[in-house]
Amino acid sequence: MTGVAAEPAAVTVVEGGPPPVHRGRSALGRAGWFVASVLVVCVLWEAYKVVGSPDGGSLFGARVLPRADDASMPHVWEVLRRFGRPESAATDSSSVAVAVLEAVWFTFRVAMAGLVLGVLVGIGLGMLMDRFALAERGLLPYVVLSQTVPLVALAPLVVGWGGRVHIGSMTWRPWMSVAVIAAYLAFFPVAVGVLRGLRSPSAHSVELMRSFSASWWQTFRRLRLPASVPYLIPALRLAAASAVVGAIVAEISTGIRGGIGRLVIEYSREATSDPAKVWTAFLGAALLGLVVAGLVALLDAGLARYRPAS
């Protein structure tokens, strides 16, 4: 589970993003800062291994510092080297790097499917709640409540329901359950963000549209939607991170093969004999988070003109 816990942190590094002051900085400069921050983490890791106790640090019987021995914290170079070696002892085994990348690609596609579904549902709910006060009063509490249901409790349920779904000739595939769970986490920030964004135009702007005798749809397309972009982008960042976490946790709790979540579990079983291996899976999960965050950043750059002028 450590890999999952590390995930949001990995996303946040990029997600926090450059503050406005840095906006003018070149992409190259930003990449430089990113590489530097990775190096700092590596140096801190190795430094702790030098000073830390192999048994970790305990306070009143509870371990507060991790063990610094090679089985718990393999050297950075051990982990990197592990990527190049075969995954298992079998003769036709591919390298760990290939296995991790394949798993990342699998989870990426599932998380993206979940993100798209979640964003569509979120936008739909946000529009519905914006349009009808009754829908807001009736739905919003459930929307909030939905996020308090523990994912691990929900995942087996979704898989169970999915098994009974038959839409025409389409049969329900296990990855669809994972995508649905990812969507379940992703829709929430989008729904709330869209609701706030659609309501962000001032009363005067709305009246102006009314004075032009604009229809509801015209007002939506030309005023409310563009005005909600500044609310939608942060919501998308959260949704993207949630979709990745949701996909990984769902893979683990439903036991679906092929994704990075499953790989974390498989590799961690070998942690005693091959400690570096599980860290390759963690890094794979971090890579996934970075790629997804990068995609949202690209979208943000594409929609720059809708950002409020500073």
Partner 1 sequence: MTAFVSLSGVTKTFRGRAGDVTALSDVDLTVTAGEFVTLIGPSGCGKSTLLRVVADLTAPTAGTVTVNGKTARQARLDQDYGIAFQQAGLMDWRTVVRNVELPLELRGWDRRRRRERALELLELVGLPDFAGARPAELSGGMQQRVAIARALATGPKLLLMDEPFGALDEMTRERLQAELARIARESGATVVFVTHSIPEAVYLSDRVVVMSPRPGRVAAVVAVALGERTDDTREAPEFFAKVTEVREALRGRAPVERR
Which positions lie near partner 1, rule CB under 8 A? 202, 204-205, 207-208, 210-214, 218, 222-223, 226, 229, 305-306, 308-309
Q: What gap in Å lies between CA 47 and CA 279, rounded to an integer?
A: 18
Q: Which is nearer to partner 1, 72 or 200 (CB)?
A: 200
Complex with partner 1: residue 166 or 305, whichever CB lies closer? 305
CB closer to partner 1, 63 vs 222: 222
In the complex, least distance from residue 307 CB atom to partner 1, rounded to whole angstroms: 8
Shortest separation between residue 228's beta carbon and partner 1, angstroms: 11
Residues near 300 by Cβ (< 8 Å), separated by ≥ 6? 233
Residue 110 Cα distances to 6, 127, 182, angstroms: 20, 26, 8
CB of 199 to partner 1, least distance (A): 16
Angle at 173 between CA 246 and CA 280, to 5 degrees: 45
- From the list 270, 291, 295, the residue with the least C-alpha distance to 280 is 270
Does an H or E element contain 181, and which?
Answer: helix 174-198
For residues 226 and 258, which CB has a smaller minimum distance to partner 1 in the complex?
A: 226
Nearer to partner 1 by Cβ, of 56 and 226: the residue is 226
Give the closest residue to 128 by CA, choosing from 194, 188, 180, 183. 194
- Cα angle, residue 64 at apex, residues 63 and 67 outer, rounded to 5°: 70
**Which residues contact residue 205 at a Cβ distance below 8 angstroms, ignoring those fewer than 6 apart?**
223, 227
Distances from the Cα of 58 to the Cα of 50, 54, 63, 301, angstroms? 18, 12, 4, 47
For 294, phi and psi rounded to 5 degrees?
-65, -40
Smallest separation (angstroms) from partner 1 to the CB of 225 = 10
Closest approach of Cβ 269 to partner 1, in Å?
A: 53
- Tell the smallest beta-carbon distance from residue 301 to partner 1 (Å): 15
Residue whose CB is less far from partner 1, 84 or 308: 308
CB of 227 to partner 1, least distance (A): 8
Nearest to partner 1 of 211, 273 (CB atom)? 211
How far does Cα 184 stand from its chain's mean position?
Answer: 12
Which 8-state DSSP code applies to residue 193? H
